[in-house]
Amino acid sequence: MKWRSLQESGSYRDMRPLREIFAERKEAIAAYVPADVQAVHARTVASLKAQGLAAGALKVGMKSPSFELPDHNGKPVSSAYLLSRGRLVLSFIRGRWCPFCVGQMEAMSYIAAEIEAAGAALVAVSPQTEKQAFFMHDQHRLGFPLLVDAHNQLARKFGLVYRVPEEQQALYRSTFVHLPFTNGDDGWELPIPATFVIDRDSTILFASANEDYADRPEPLEILSAVETFR
């Protein structure tokens, strides 16, 4: 139900660039996941790219929608409060079952203090239930809040949501990635991974969205964007 990382076994911190961590995970998938299963995931990504989902997401210069969402402990967190204190780094992820989400969140956690020192708050958003968000936050020792976006309501406003196709649903079920349980609804919907840097007036300063869940911005690129607009 979740992806285990080396970090969980002790004080290990993988400080390599995210692209190297992802390359290693892609190699493991290529070696151990059957080719027909890999093909289903590849077709899903190709279909989303053909639909231009990322191209329709909110972009630099646009206004970010306001929100108030519970965090992994059930505490309400509002964009108004976060932006009253500085800029905001907002990352949308799929869930704790995704090895690439885990890798990205751990890497972001390592620079959370630097993002804060640069005058920004860091939060991540997923459609997982509060319980699943708590498990992910606790097991991977994340240094920032993980917000619960029930039914992908906020992700939808950012233009990130898609319905998992039937053939991929079948694969997920067979590998115990049962989204109705994980997300607490029967929608079988996910956000494509995306990260935004948002200014205090809600203007988007940096935007990265990609239909390929294994292609995400480097944490240092996000930190650079925060520092550029300081």
Q: What is the DSSP letter of 203?
A: B
Q: Which residues contact 121 (CB under 8 A, 6 or more apart)?
A: 82, 85, 86, 87, 88, 89, 115, 144
pLDDT value, residue 9: 42
Q: Measured between alpha carbons, how far is residue 80 from residues 19, 51, 87 in Å?
A: 33, 33, 11
In the predicted structure, residue 11 carries a pLDDT above the cut 70: no
pLDDT at 5 over 70: no
56-106 pLDDT tens trace = 999 999 999 999 999 999 999 999 999 999 999 999 999 999 999 999 999
Distances, alpha carbon 39 to alpha carbons 90, 124, 161, in Å: 31, 29, 22
Residue 3 lies in a domain: no
Q: Does residue 2 form part of some domain?
A: no
Give the closest residue to 23 by CA, choosing from 90, 80, 119, 100: 100
In this structure, what CATH number is given to the domain that contains residue 148?
3.40.30.10
Contact, 102 vs 68, CB < 8 A?
no
Domain span at 155: 15-228
Comparing 12 with 219, which gets the higher pLDDT? Answer: 219
pLDDT at 229 over 90: no
Q: Say if 4 falls within a structural domain.
A: no
pLDDT at 230 over 90: no
Q: What pLDDT was estimated at residue 228? A: 85
135-154 confidence digits (pLDDT tens): 999 999 999 999 999 999 99
Domain total for the chain?
1
Note the pLDDT of residue 13: 60
Residue 88 CB partners (closer than 8 Å, separation 6+) = 64, 79, 82, 120, 121, 122, 123, 196, 197, 198
- Residue 21 structure tokens: 């961590």
Res 17: pLDDT: 87
Rounded CA gap, 104 and 192, in Å?
14
User: pLDDT (tens digit, 9 = 90+) per residue, 31-46?
Assistant: 999 999 999 999 999 9
The answer to whether the Cα torsion of 137, 141, 217, 208 is positive or negative is positive
- For residue range 185-209, list pLDDT tens digits in order: 999 999 999 999 999 999 999 999 9
Judged against a pLDDT cut of 50, whether residue 7 lies above it is answered with no
Residue 224 lies inside a defined structural domain of this protein: yes
Residue 156 predicted with pLDDT over 80: yes
